[in-house]
């Protein structure tokens, strides 16, 4: 499947194996296919069933893929019915527009006192899917993978999100970021004394779905695939990334835990999808432990929470703690952070000497005023151009979703920048973004030479240069957004004029060669 197709979705699933078990869950609305197959993990071939739903898309919910390890003596033609009953119940909620997304979870009391052989509160965590060899699944942008939560894990996830459980599963299985299969016979990775031994059991915690935290690391050797490593040195800044749709939740939370002059709280978060290192702590660790993929450069670290302690006499500073990040903030720093979290504004708190700084970056569009439909923007995207072949993009971009989010941020910023301005002549506009490892971003915006919009185009490039950059590894990535202003379009140059001028007619590799000239690493 090509990189653009991975970015924007589309057909391309592998052919289905013969004779899956097909079950009608909601007559005429929802079915499920259950495939019996082996899932190869290293030298092992795990016998599995994979459940694939068909029918959720019609009610606005992504489909589900659930892979369950089966016992050696289990009849492959007789998959357990518990997951099928669960999907039927989820369908009734989806009909009421109660949807789940990656990072979400569902916890419930075991049906009839037993679900997949487990008694008590159980559940599912929903994650971004990965291919299941030999099984046809919907495109990755149209489905979710479900991971079974055991008793103990479900209680933890219900109040603190699924990051810790998934990271520990990945650490135990030596599989980054976590195994896509579920084994209902395994031991729980969250013990009964977890709340007593963890920071997240000692202070107020709120799960903030769709938000994540990350920092860029100094270079380090990459451990073998899925194995535990120590990572590189912590960067000079930790960044909390929040979608604007969560602003009301944050405002309500801070009204409860951040109103006084001193206090503390923790935001439980999802993993940053672009990060290629994840904290994977368990009680007894005497140093931060991480898991990484074999193909990454171990340059971007994510964790499962951001803890804040604030008050008079508190020195500003931050560090890794357990599988998250903890900061202490004095009154001035806390006031600046609180304002950013309640106003939807970005902020970069200065780091004290020898300490780590903290930033907040907001993503997503600013909500339009009023209830009516938003008018067409002065800036409209026509197409995208990738400057590198598919195999290079696959190696350098850990997360397709993070690039899609960046393009959405560009379009939202364009609407905010161009829509309030008086309409000008219809014309094409070329937006080129280049990203280097470490979150470094540079943007060029070209309009036709001599256009009255040239000055504004330079201002717009500066605005885009402050957007949160997607994570890249092993080298730079560049792509272009071909767009129009005020209904314009037509012929777009292949590269920005600054690139053409710098090349001087020489043949250079795009973008690596030209970036080495105009933006050295």
pLDDT per position as a tens digit, 455-501:
999 999 999 999 988 899 989 999 999 999 999 988 899 999 999 99
Could you tell me which residue, 358 or 1, shows the higher pLDDT?
A: 358
Give 67-123 pLDDT, tens digit per residue. 999 998 899 999 999 999 999 999 999 999 999 999 999 999 976 779 999 999 999
Coil vs helix vs strand at 273: coil
> How many whole angstroms separate alpha carbon 519 and alpha carbon 245?
35
Domains in the chain, CATH or no CATH each: 3-192 (no CATH), 196-363 (3.30.1360.220), 379-518 (no CATH)
Instruction: Please give the full DSSP string across 313-336, using - where no structure is assigned.
Output: TPPPEEEEETTEEEEEE-HHHHHH
> How many whole angstroms separate alpha carbon 288 and alpha carbon 160?
20
Dihedral through CA 411, CA 416, CA 422, CA 427, nearest 10?
-10
Q: Is the peptide bond before 177 cis (omega within 30 degrees of 0)?
A: yes
**pTM of the predicted model, to two decimals?**
0.84
Residue 80: closest CA among 34, 146, 136, 149:
34
pLDDT band at 189 (very low <50, low <70, confident <90, very high): very high
Helix (H) or strand (E) holding 518: helix 512-518
Q: Cα separations (Å) of 350 from 241, 300, 498?
A: 17, 20, 33
Give 333-374 pLDDT, tens digit per residue. 999 999 999 999 999 998 888 788 999 999 875 544 444 445
Are 166 and 154 in contact by the 8 Å Cβ rule? The answer is no
Cβ neighbours of residue 87 closer than 8 Å, sequence gap 6 or more: 25, 30, 32, 51, 53, 64
> How many whole angstroms separate alpha carbon 132 and alpha carbon 50?
8
């Amino acid at each position: 499947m090509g990189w653009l197709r991975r970015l924007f979705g589309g057909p391309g699933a592998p052919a289905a194996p013969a004779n899956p078990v097909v079950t009608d869950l909601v007559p005429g609305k929802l079915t499920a296919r259950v495939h019996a197959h082996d899932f190869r993990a290293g030298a092992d071939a795990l016998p599995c069933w994979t459940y694939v739903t068909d029918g959720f898309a019609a009610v606005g919910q992504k489909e589900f893929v659930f892979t369950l390890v089966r016992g050696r003596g289990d009849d492959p033609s007789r998959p357990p019915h518990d997951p099928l009953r669960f999907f039927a119940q989820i369908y009734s909620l989806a009909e009421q527009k109660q949807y789940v997304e990656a990072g979400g979870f569902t916890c419930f009391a075991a049906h009839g006192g037993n679900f997949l052989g487990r008694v008590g509160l159980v559940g599912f965590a929903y994650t971004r899917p990965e291919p299941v060899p030999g099984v046809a699944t919907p495109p990755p942008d149209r489905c979710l993978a479900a991971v079974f939560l055991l008793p103990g894990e479900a209680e933890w996830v219900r109040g603190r999100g699924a990051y810790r459980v998934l990271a520990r599963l990945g650490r135990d299985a030596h599989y980054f970021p976590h195994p896509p299969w579920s084994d209902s016979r395994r031991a729980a990775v969250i013990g009964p004394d977890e709340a007593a031994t963890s920071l997240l059991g000692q202070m107020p915690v709120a799960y903030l779905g769709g938000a994540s935290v990350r920092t860029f690391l100094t270079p380090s050797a990459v451990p073998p695939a899925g194995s535990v490593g120590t990572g590189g040195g912590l960067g000079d800044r930790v960044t909390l990334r929040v979608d604007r749709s969560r602003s009301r939740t944050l405002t309500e939370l801070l009204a409860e835990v951040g109103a006084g002059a001193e206090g503390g709280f923790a935001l439980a978060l999802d993993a940053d999808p672009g990060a290629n290192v994840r904290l994977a702590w368990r009680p007894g660790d005497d140093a931060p432990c991480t898991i990484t993929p074999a193909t990454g450069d171990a340059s971007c670290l994510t964790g499962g929470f951001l803890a804040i302690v604030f008050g008079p006499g508190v020195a500003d500073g931050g560090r890794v703690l357990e599988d998250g990040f903890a900061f202490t903030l004095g009154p001035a720093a806390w006031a600046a952070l609180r304002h950013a979290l309640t106003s939807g504004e970005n902020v970069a708190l200065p780091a004290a000497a020898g300490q780590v700084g903290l930033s907040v970056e907001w993503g997503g569009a600013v909500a339009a005023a009023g209830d009516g439909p938003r008018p067409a923007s002065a800036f409209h995207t026509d197409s995208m151009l990738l400057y590198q072949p598919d195999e290079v993009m696959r190696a350098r971009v850990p997360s397709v979703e993070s690039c899609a989010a960046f393009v959405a941020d560009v379009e939202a910023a364009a609407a905010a920048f161009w829509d309030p301005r008086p309409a000008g002549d219809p014309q094409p506009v070329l937006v080129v973004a280049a990203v280097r490892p470490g979150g470094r971003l540079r943007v060029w915006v070209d309009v036709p030479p001599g256009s009255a919009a040239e000055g504004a185009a330079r201002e717009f490039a500066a605005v885009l240069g402050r957007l949160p950059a997607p994570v890249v590894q092993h080298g730079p990535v560049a792509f272009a957004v071909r767009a129009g202003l005020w209904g314009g379009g037509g012929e777009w140059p292949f590269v920005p004029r600054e690139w053409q001028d710098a090349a001087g007619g020489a043949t250079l590799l795009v973008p690596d060669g030209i970036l080495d000239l105009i933006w050295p690493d």
